[in-house]
Homo-oligomer: A and B are copies of this chain.
Amino acid sequence: MSNRKPLILVSNDDGVVSKGISELVKYLRPLGEIVVMAPDSPRSGNASALTVTQPVHYQLLRKDVGLTVYKCSGTPTDCVKLARNTVLDREPDLVVGGINHGDNSATNVHYSGTMGIAIEGCLNGVPSIGFSLCSHDPGADFEAAGPYIRKIAAMVLEKGLPPLTCLNVNFPDTSELKGVKVCQQAKGRWTKEWEACPRLSDPNYFWLTGSFTDSEPENEKSDQWALANGYVAITPITVDLTAYNSIDSLEACCRESGLCD
């Protein structure tokens, strides 16, 4: 065991100047040495996207005792990949994304750059967490979340996480949190996803928007239920996407169709 302080790599998808990442650094700082590598502009909805058609650039913004901050021209996932391979002198003990300004529970996990950060850490064997608050307000109040963030990060630093598993942690937008629930990803769908914004005579311009409908609103195990009822939702997320339960039926199907022996 090293007697060095834990090394914590922090990124986000709202950009390096957002309030959420400053608050995250504030809560994590007592736990270790913090290196921030975060996008130089908002990257919401970037999922695990990579930058492949142009070079990615990073730049040192600030270096204090225990805190170094870089901005990066790439995606949230690029930030994790670049930091691990350039500015860090060893593998981080923890990778943390957030605090996102917006809900990343339910199927939002698929689109989330915050969770792209956690997934990237996890794919490299580093315990990883994405934190999100259910408010898009740039000046959102993260005070209630703070103590939970510090405790959850400390827990993961101390005990690690199961292989191929990272955490998706979402906070309801309230000052009175009822506690923590370990959850399942809620099922449901986004609808009314586009709002027309015609330009001159061309009607084919649209803003992405929409509303999410939980298809199991009474499922007390879901992250959406936890959030709707005032709890912090911790959903363990696997990076092994294999649908193991479907393998046998798919093999049978392929045999019937003459695709497999």
Interface residues of A, Cβ cutoff 8 Å to B: 42, 44-53, 55-59, 75, 77-78, 81-82, 85-86, 107, 109-111, 116, 119, 123-125, 148, 151-152, 154-155, 158-159, 161-162, 164-165, 167, 179-182, 184-185, 187, 189-190, 193-194, 197, 199, 202, 204-208, 234-247, 249-251, 253-254, 256-261
A184 B58 Cβ-Cβ under 8 A: no
Contacts of A194 in B (CB 8 A): 56, 81-82, 85-86
Assess A259 versus B148: contact at CB under 8 Å? Given A111-B48, A185-B241.
yes
Within the assembled complex, what's the spacing in Å between the Cα atoms of A261 and B231?
A: 12
Q: CB within 8 A of A189: which of B55, B119, B123?
A: B123
B235 A242 Cβ-Cβ under 8 A: yes
Known: A148-B259, A184-B240, A237-B243. 16 other contacts (CB 8 A): A42-B53, A44-B53, A45-B49, A46-B49, A55-B206, A57-B205, A151-B257, A152-B259, A159-B253, A159-B256, A159-B257, A162-B246, A164-B187, A167-B250, A182-B251, A182-B260
Chain B nearest CB from A92 CB (Å) reads: 15
Within the assembled complex, what's the spacing in Å between the Cα atoms of A85 and B47?
A: 21
Q: CB within 8 A of A165: which of B42, B167, B246?
A: B246
Indicate how many identical chains form the complex: 2
- Chain B: CB-nearest residue to A75: B49
Chain B nearest CB from A189 CB (Å) reads: 6
Contacts of A207 in B (CB 8 A): 55-56
What are 27 contact pairs spanning A and B, CB under 8 A? A42-B53, A47-B50, A47-B77, A48-B48, A49-B49, A50-B111, A55-B205, A56-B205, A57-B205, A59-B204, A78-B208, A81-B208, A85-B194, A86-B204, A86-B206, A110-B239, A148-B259, A151-B257, A152-B259, A158-B257, A159-B253, A162-B249, A180-B259, A182-B260, A236-B250, A237-B243, A238-B242
- Chain B: CB-nearest residue to A56: B206
